[in-house]
Structure 1
């Protein structure tokens, strides 16, 4: 069974640029040449980033990056989501969370 499957999967010839290539070694060379042409490095001039000037955050802005979310922000994000879309792996969707927000808000935060 395995040998017949292997024989069926064998490549006996290939068409390369309109020519038929037969035999193990010529087919191997044709396949290697095909993929080598796709993955060879091309010397292109790319823009450098050495002289770019980036904006920097102020110390007050840096501290706001790690600030915890407020309850109002979390509630606004939940209410912005469609109620019946994309239930989680537990089957709970945003409609359930909205309906039981008073009970669940402590667990969410």
Structure 2
């Protein structure tokens, strides 16, 4: 019974929301109407309006600082971590090491008929040169795991 009531309330709220949005858009000028329809259809992302009491919605720095201070209060209320209490976890285990033959096997398993990634290197070439690529790729992966850093170029889209 409660589930049915809740679902009916949600459906009614959704209908009212869209009806009110469209009714308001029809009474406004065409450019606002078009922009509102685009927002409802998730075609254009509008900038979010964050209301913080006592701070103007146009003051982005003030809003960001207020949110930051609230998050900082949470962490400042907790006691700091004592490194001596972490002795059971230290020293950290060395990261796993990828072997060259495992890299070679994985490169050989690439489907040559799939489209290439953002580097535009065809999968057929990667598969054909798996033996030559396995050694440098293994070094890159192992160094990344050891240092705990992913190469910056892998984080950017080409």
Give TM class, smaller chain. 0.3 to 0.5
TM-score if structure 2 supplies the norm length? Answer: 0.31
TM-score if structure 1 supplies the norm length? Answer: 0.39
Structure (1/2) with the larger strand percentage:
1
Compare CA radii of gyration and give the structure with the larger one: 1
Structure (1/2) with the larger helix percentage:
2
Q: Which has the higher contact order (CA 8 A, sep 6+)?
A: 2
